[in-house]
Amino acid sequence: MKKIARKAACLLGGLGFLVASLGAQAEGQIRVAQQFGIAYLLLDVVQDQKLIEKHGKAQGLDIKVEWAQVSGATAMNEALLAGSLDVVSAGVPPLLTLWDRTRGRQNVKAVAALGSLPNYLLTTNPNIRSLKDFSEKDRIAVPAAGTGFQSRTLQIETARIFGKDQFKRFDTLSVSLPHPDATAALIAGGSEINSHFSSAPFYYQALAGNKNVRKVLSSYDILGGQATFNVLYTTQKFHDENPKTYKAFYAALTEAEKIVKNDKAKAAEIFIRAQKSRLPLELVRKIIEDPENDFTIQPQRSQVYAEELYKLGVLKNRATSWKDYFFEEAHALPGS
């Protein structure tokens, strides 16, 4: 009886290990979310050309891909931590915030960059020529007030101008509003929103749609040159438990970058088709061909954010390299 019990225990233990192993390798599904704008062009190409599915099949895996569109980094981060999304996209600062707060637990890190594109701080107020000219009467639209890419970028520049203790000076003037809505408000005029820290294609539209809209500054001015705008990120659990799916996703992003760089006309058509956009094809091509915009998975100047936000106390952990907050698949790239 003891021998039978031992065999049963071994069998059950083996089955338990097998079940656990199967659960840990729950391959074949990925839920990806993007925000609004042409900054997510690589994801539009991945989705339109079914590149995740393509690279999954190359490994003998049929991958079910679910796509979502969400506005704002706060909602993205909450969905990722809740487990309702597998991979989310937002600016470098929201990624760094989650990397910082989940170290030793979910261990959130970046998968890849989505491109280096500037954001423009726009205004219709004729009295505003620099950050020093904003008053309590002005309102700045951003996707995620206080925490998103635009707010964190503004905080870095505010600290330089007014001092570290004043870095949240413009948080009280900021209003959370999706880029499309903020752009419409700026073009129409007459609302409390008279300024917008805007991404492409929205600042192109605003500058063309209202002669009173002017650029106050660019995020590139603050970061010292061309720099990553958005990144994709996920948890250590998803990365480790889905190696084939993750590999297919990364390969899909790599191929999408090549498609955009090699055929910008095709990329413009894909964006309009994927987003059901009403933008003129000529404008989309102009944006993709703009030398300020680089649709690349290579991170650029991301560590500027890591260093500056650490100095401000937003981050508790200091990154010694950009590789600290990117998964190893990206480490072969000449990033920064």
Of 182, 205, 223, the last residue of a domain is 223
13 belongs to a structural domain: no
Of 188, 223, 258, the last residue of a domain is 223
Of 208, 223, 238, the last residue of a domain is 223
130 belongs to a structural domain: yes
CATH number assigned to the domain comprising residue 219: 3.40.190.10
Strands 140-142 and 174-176: parallel
pLDDT at residue 72, as a whole number: 79
129 belongs to a structural domain: yes
CA-CA distance, 133 to 273, in Å (whole number)? 41
Phi-psi region of 113 (alpha: psi -120 to 50; beta: other; left: phi over 0): beta
Q: What is the pTM of this model?
A: 0.88
Element (H, E) at 65: strand 64-69
44 belongs to a structural domain: yes
On whether the CB atoms of residues 187 and 213 are closer than 8 A, the answer is yes
pLDDT at residue 14, as a whole number: 43
335 belongs to a structural domain: no
6 belongs to a structural domain: no
Sequence-distant (6+) residues with CB within 8 A of 234 are 80, 86, 87, 88, 108, 109, 111, 327
- 239 and 259 co-located in one domain: yes
pLDDT at residue 73, as a whole number: 81
pLDDT less than 70: residues of the chain: 1-26
- 248 and 294 co-located in one domain: yes
pLDDT at residue 26, as a whole number: 65
- 241 and 323 co-located in one domain: yes
- 52 and 95 co-located in one domain: yes
pLDDT at residue 70, as a whole number: 87
User: Domain count of the chain?
Assistant: 2
The DSSP-derived string for 114-129 is: EEB---EEEE--TT-S
Q: 248: closest CA among 39, 64, 48, 24?
A: 64
What is the span of the domain harbouring residue 190? 120-223
The DSSP-derived string for 175-197 is: EE--HHHHHHHHHH--SS--EEE
